[in-house]
Structure 1
Amino acid sequence: MRIAPRTAAWIVPLVLTLVAALLRFIGLGHPHTLVFDETYYVKDAWTLLHLGYEGSWPDDADALFTGGDTDVYQTSPAYVVHPPLGKWLIALGMALFGADSGFGWRFSAALFGTLLVPLVYAIARRLSGSVAVGTIAGGLLAIDGLAIALSRVALLDGFLAFLIALAFWFVLRDSDRTAPAIMRPGGGTGGPVLWRRPWIVAAGAALGAATAVKWSGIYTLAGVGILLVLLDLAARRRAGVAGALAGAVRQAPVTFLQLVPIAVVVYLLSWTGWLLTTGGYDRGSDPNPLIALWNYHLSMYGFHVGLATSHPYASPAWQWPLLLRPTAMWLARPDAGAAWCGWSEDCIGVIGSHPNPITWYGGWAAVVLLGVLLARRRGGAVRFGAVIVLTGLLLTYVPWLLYPARTIFQFYTVTMLPFLVIALALALGYLGRPREPVLLPAPSHAEIRYAARAAETQTRAWRMFAIGVVVVAVLVGIFFLPLSTGFLEPYDLWRDHMWLPGWI
């Protein structure tokens, strides 16, 4: 049965969202323990909800908290090194569902991780004009182990990934409005200066929120500002505007005003609890609360720059494309034959930041292809998608290379993952496009038919290759699901998942 394109356009993202939700919400309360950095963020979120700032906890707070004694926090402030928005989002889940189970403190992470799937579908479809390409991108993200793991633990990076992708979606929505506005008459040399760009304001708000989750969002804010200037210049040149460069230069400060002030406002609003109370860390360093906040930020910056403690799962950024050291955020291996092993005599449960290897390595290969197409000015409409994808990847990856001595982890790459799956989907869509026959000058009818058959054969071969990649990626993604959910699996099967030495 053939589904009409208009029907598929809403059924496909709905199905993808449902699949993503099932993989992220089923058994979300397992394990009933504070996993990895949940020991910081969940308790910080709970005190934010009750104090307005992050309070301190006794040494045995984890066991007390998970045992149901959630009010053992103290009113003295805790020193925290990340802005509060991500923890406020975690607190929202606990406000709705309580803090007596992992479902409550992980709800918001699972919700944002689920919503990231239709968002990535929408971006890929907008860049390609193809429901199929959007389905590949959204589908591969829905079953990706890294995306699932960061949706099933209450860490900050899943929120960051969603907000950055949302900002790029807003940039795309703005590009749909910009070209017609530039072509309107009366703009003079260089074209008009555009003041009504609500999607840029929305992008600024999203990136301000991203920075309020983790400071790495500020790199994306700066990079998107540069991207907007370049997109504006390209749009004016495509429209044939005389003095396009001068017009883009005039537009740049206006774009800055549309993008950055709202980001600053959103960022400061995330600190409302700290600003309106008096108990937060460093709150009394100056009578002026904004100067006190600045003092606190200087201290936070010093911490981040100087963080170089050893950790068994630390992974410098140069390793990330090679996937050498994923992060094991939780691991449990009961004694052989234990009753709760169920159907296996020896079992193990893991929550790790293992992306689907086929999608991951395939995404980096696709990035190379898109880069070549962009450099050679080939690929038609794919080039615009390449600009967006490569920019997103550049802004979420390269800044980490600037801190080679800092203790960082491979799960930070969840912010890169949406751009990698979109890159892979765009590349497969490009490879599977219909080929044009290659004809010699003044061809005969027989040569025309032969060229047409050759082009059709080539198209079919590349489409089969693209389908094969997707099928293998889906099968491998399903195979790797236990590594991201924490559900028990036989130890021998877990060993079969360990494809590289650094995964153990």
Structure 2
Amino acid sequence: MPADRSDDLEDREHLEGDENGDDPEGGSGEHLEGGDNGNAPGDSAEETAPASASSEAPSASSEGADDEAADEAAVEDAEEAPPAGPVARSEDELRTMLGLMPRGWSLPRAVRVNGWIVTAAVAAVAALTRLIGLSHPRTLMFDEIYYAKDAYALWHNGYESSWSEGADELFAAGDVSALTTDPSYIVHPQLGKWLIGLGMEVFGVNSLGWRIVPAIAGILTVVLLARLTMRLTRSPVLAGLAGLLLALDGVAITESRIALLDGFIGLFGLLSVYCLVRDREWSRARLARDLDGTMPDHLAPRAHLRPWLLAAGVSLGLTCSIKWSGLYLLAAVGVLVVVWDTLALRRVKAKAWFLEGVIARGVGDFLRLVPVAVLVYVAGWWSWFIHDKAYKHGWAAEIRANGDPVPRSFLPDGLNDLVEYHITMYDFHVNLSSEHPYMSSPFGWLLQLRPTSFYWPEAEELEGAACPTDHCIAAITSIGNIPVWWAALPALVIAVGAMAWRSRDWRAWVPLIAYVGLYLPWFRYLDRTIFTFYTVAFVPAVVLVLTLVLGSASGMLTPVPGSREAIEEARGIERGSIGEGRPHPRGPIAAYLGFGRYPTRLRLPEEWTGVPSWRLHGEGLALTAVIVIAALVFASLWWPIWTGQTVTYEFWHRHMLLPSWI
């Protein structure tokens, strides 16, 4: 008989997953591999004891007869015994191999309810920090002079249009008479401006109108990050931590209170990553179901529709429809999907898993992501297609009318016009190198070395404002919450080295893929005019990587089912070496510093932390509390700088911690 494998399949309740890959709060999902699970089928056969092994020796007269009878019995037993070798795997065994919880497992109702309570709480904090005083200042600031007016033109002319001289002051006062019907050369897609204009259609042409939708997008980003964290960790405390830190971040706050495009990249980019995680859960649950009852080295099952991957394609198309920087996230997500699919086939020992994953499934993943994203992107230009006056619309027809050959004549004129428009846009972006006082290098972005100033009015504009001295200012500077950003930098190193590399914890790649797709590409453009405020696109990843590392340090981040850590923990519980009244193992740094020698005395409710109290690490909880308190203090002190309140020059100067902030 094959060696018994039940020991390694017990006590795996650390992460979600039902057969459909549903929401962990509702009863399922998955968390991926973290090392070999030790569940390979046994190859040894059970031995049959000979008759001569009896405690009573046979008589000499019957020895020959007994030997013959024993030989015949051995032959019969050998014929009836099952052959040695691999056995069929059950669906639950396959789910464990793939980092999923068993079928039918569900998150406790109290934990699910508390997850939604903390989501509502951080949404309220985000609403307060983004909506209070949103209409101040009532003038156009920074690039609102472009995006707000373009948004109005889109809604009323159907295409971005030129404005006559003096339009900024008139528009800020609600006067749109300076709008013309002449097309304007714009170098970004249209979706973000459609969203900004929606607010003006509801609230009118005023500062509240052109800022309300970016503010709502900022609130939704906080909510989405909390739900993504809840799915990854199944801990309401960690979900609330991630949402709170994002709700209090200065980059996220300032760019939710101004009519810029980059905040929408943060929202749709995070939505893309969320859909990616949901697809990973769904596809692995389906793989386990399809291979139920099969042997190792079985052919990979046929591909499925994978609705969450299609949703990721739609979301990535929306991201690209805000700014072209979304293209890099599309590429990064596409590579990660193929890697995850290939590793899943390897995990279940599918036949020709590498070729099947990279080629067959890789092509399928491409078709579910890239064409969908392209269709969504092109559809975002619908208004440009139907308005003949739009910039470059009719370009091919004009060349043909002059008797000249039309480049790319194999394309329909409308599509060819759009391609030519995009060529001019690309030339603009790659050649943008004019000096700007707030341009910055991506080398300093993670430390917030050179924040962007959005608003600095002249002294006469502050006349009538309450000022205790004769020198007051009202500045809006996009400075991140420094305790969060600076703590996230070592957390990033830990996430890459300890979680993603050493422990093979797939959850670390959720924020890391946003760094790869939305941060690293900017190093290709060091000679271009770029700004720190672009970091709003990946600030959710900054917060999430810090949250995951703090969750690991505090013991609230449980091991991935089927991982080496999960197996060791299950065996430790069975042996009684860990559990209630015993110290929980620490990492090398905490162990070196002397933590974990004694059992914890903390008693926190499991329905909030997501783990039993014996698993908590007091030093990790203390570190988390220090960072949260520091973030709250920083947010309260820098709130006037984030929202343009009138303050004394001395107050402002004290808050410029680094010379590069001035």
TM-score, normalised to structure 2's length?
A: 0.71
Determine the structure 1 residue equivalent to 2:274.
169
- Does structure 1 residue 220 correspond to structure 2 residue 309? no
Determine the structure 2 residue equivalent to 1:156.
261
- Does structure 1 residue 206 correspond to structure 2 residue 331? no
Tell me if structure 2 keeps the 8 A contact 1:192–1:247: no
Q: Structure 1 residues 463, 332: CA separation in 2 closer, same or farther (over 3 Å shift)? A: same
Tell me if structure 2 keeps the 8 A contact 1:54–1:280: yes
Determine the structure 2 residue equivalent to 1:274.
384
- Paired with 2:355 and 2:157, the residues of 1 have a C-alpha distance of 52
Determine the structure 2 residue equivalent to 1:244.
353
Q: Which amino acid aligns with 1:315?
A: S
Aligned residue among 541, 544, 549 for 1:422 = 544
Q: Structure 1 residues 455, 254: CA separation in 2 closer, same or farther (over 3 Å shift)? A: farther
Q: Which amino acid aligns with 2:235?
A: S
Tell me the CA shift for residue 345 of structure 1.
Answer: 5.2
Determine the structure 1 residue equivalent to 2:525.
403
- Does structure 1 residue 499 correspond to structure 2 residue 657? yes
Tell me the CA shift for residue 6 of structure 1.
Answer: 3.2
Tell me if structure 1 keeps the 8 A contact 2:342–2:354: yes
Name whichever of 331-340 and 236-245 sits farther off: 331-340
- Does structure 1 residue 312 correspond to structure 2 residue 462? no
Tell me the CA shift for residue 342 of structure 1.
Answer: 4.7
Determine the structure 1 residue equivalent to 2:92.
none
- Paired with 1:326 and 1:203, the residues of 2 have a C-alpha distance of 31
Alpha-carbon displacement from aligned partner over 1:98-134 (angstroms, at most 9, x marks no partner): 11x1010111100101100011111122222211111
Tell me the CA shift for residue 341 of structure 1.
Answer: 2.2
Q: Structure 1 residues 487, 47: CA separation in 2 closer, same or farther (over 3 Å shift)? A: same
SS in 1 for 2:163: coil
SS in 2 for 1:286: helix
Aligned residue among 190, 207, 213 for 1:84 = 190
Tell me the CA shift for residue 334 of structure 1.
Answer: 3.8
Tell me if structure 1 keeps the 8 A contact 2:500–2:509: no
Name whichever of 241-250 and 26-35 sits farther off: 241-250
- Paired with 2:462 and 2:353, the residues of 1 have a C-alpha distance of 73
- Paired with 1:11 and 1:449, the residues of 2 have a C-alpha distance of 32
- Paired with 1:60 and 1:407, the residues of 2 have a C-alpha distance of 26
Determine the structure 2 residue equivalent to 1:194.
303
Aligned residue among 538, 555, 560 for 1:433 = 555
Tell me if structure 2 keeps the 8 A contact 1:308–1:407: yes
Tell me the CA shift for residue 466 of structure 1.
Answer: 2.1
Tell me the CA shift for residue 224 of structure 1.
Answer: 0.6
Percent identity over paired residues:
39
Alpha-carbon displacement from aligned partner over 1:35-83 (angstroms, at most 9, x marks no partner): 1000000110110001111000112110111122113211111111001
- Paired with 1:138 and 1:110, the residues of 2 have a C-alpha distance of 15
Tell me the CA shift for residue 201 of structure 1.
Answer: 0.8
Alpha-carbon displacement from aligned partner over 1:178-232 (angstroms, at most 9, x marks no partner): 1111123469845223222111111111111111110000111111111100111
Pairwise mapping of residues 86-485 of structure 1 onto structure 2 (< 5 A)? 86-99=192-205, 101-185=206-290, 189-249=298-358, 250-287=360-397, 288-332=413-457, 334=459, 338-342=463-467, 346-374=471-499, 376-378=501-503, 383-433=505-555, 454-456=597-599, 459-485=617-643
SS in 2 for 1:339: coil
Q: Structure 1 residues 337, 114: CA separation in 2 closer, same or farther (over 3 Å shift)? A: closer
Alpha-carbon displacement from aligned partner over 1:219-251 (angstroms, at most 9, x marks no partner): 111111111001112222333434322331211
- Paired with 1:450 and 1:408, the residues of 2 have a C-alpha distance of 50
SS in 2 for 1:332: coil
- Paired with 2:540 and 2:598, the residues of 1 have a C-alpha distance of 32
TM-score, normalised to structure 1's length?
A: 0.92
SS in 2 for 1:183: helix
Tell me if structure 1 keeps the 8 A contact 2:583–2:599: no
Tell me the CA shift for residue 376 of structure 1.
Answer: 4.5
Name whichever of 4-13 and 115-124 sits farther off: 4-13
- Paired with 1:81 and 1:450, the residues of 2 have a C-alpha distance of 59
Tell me if structure 1 keeps the 8 A contact 2:166–2:178: no
Structure richer in helix, relative to its length: 1
- Does structure 1 residue 7 correspond to structure 2 residue 88? no
Tell me the CA shift for residue 319 of structure 1.
Answer: 2.0
- Paired with 1:414 and 1:112, the residues of 2 have a C-alpha distance of 12
Tell me if structure 2 keeps the 8 A contact 1:190–1:246: no
Name whichever of 234-243 and 320-329 sits farther off: 234-243
Report the number of matched residues.
492
- Paired with 1:491 and 1:464, the residues of 2 have a C-alpha distance of 36
Q: Structure 1 residues 59, 226: CA separation in 2 closer, same or farther (over 3 Å shift)? A: same
Q: Structure 1 residues 96, 450: CA separation in 2 closer, same or farther (over 3 Å shift)? A: closer
Tell me the CA shift for residue 281 of structure 1.
Answer: 1.1
Q: Which amino acid aligns with 1:422?
A: L
- Paired with 1:360 and 1:322, the residues of 2 have a C-alpha distance of 6
- Paired with 2:598 and 2:364, the residues of 1 have a C-alpha distance of 48
Tell me the CA shift for residue 456 of structure 1.
Answer: 3.2
SS in 1 for 2:525: coil
Q: Structure 1 residues 77, 185: CA separation in 2 closer, same or farther (over 3 Å shift)? A: closer
Name whichever of 460-469 and 327-336 sits farther off: 327-336
Tell me the CA shift for residue 177 of structure 1.
Answer: 0.7
Tell me the CA shift for residue 313 of structure 1.
Answer: 0.4
Q: Structure 1 residues 342, 71: CA separation in 2 closer, same or farther (over 3 Å shift)? A: same
- Paired with 1:443 and 1:66, the residues of 2 have a C-alpha distance of 70
SS in 1 for 2:473: strand
Pairwise mapping of residues 55-74 of structure 1 onto structure 2 (< 5 A)? 55-74=161-180
Tell me if structure 1 keeps the 8 A contact 2:453–2:477: yes
Tell me the CA shift for residue 265 of structure 1.
Answer: 1.1
Aligned residue among 127, 145, 153 for 1:21 = 127
Tell me if structure 2 keeps the 8 A contact 1:220–1:395: yes
- Paired with 2:190 and 2:576, the residues of 1 have a C-alpha distance of 68
Q: Structure 1 residues 347, 79: CA separation in 2 closer, same or farther (over 3 Å shift)? A: same
SS in 1 for 2:455: strand
Unaligned 5+ runs, structure 2:
1-108, 398-412, 559-567, 586-595, 601-615
Tell me if structure 2 keeps the 8 A contact 1:336–1:346: no
Q: Structure 1 residues 449, 18: CA separation in 2 closer, same or farther (over 3 Å shift)? A: closer
Q: Which amino acid aligns with 2:437?
A: P
Name whichever of 61-70 and 337-346 sits farther off: 337-346
Unaligned 5+ runs, structure 1:
none
User: Could you say what the CA RMSD is over the residues aligned between the two structures, in angstroms?
Assistant: 2.5
Tell me if structure 1 keeps the 8 A contact 2:316–2:326: yes
Determine the structure 1 residue equivalent to 2:51.
none
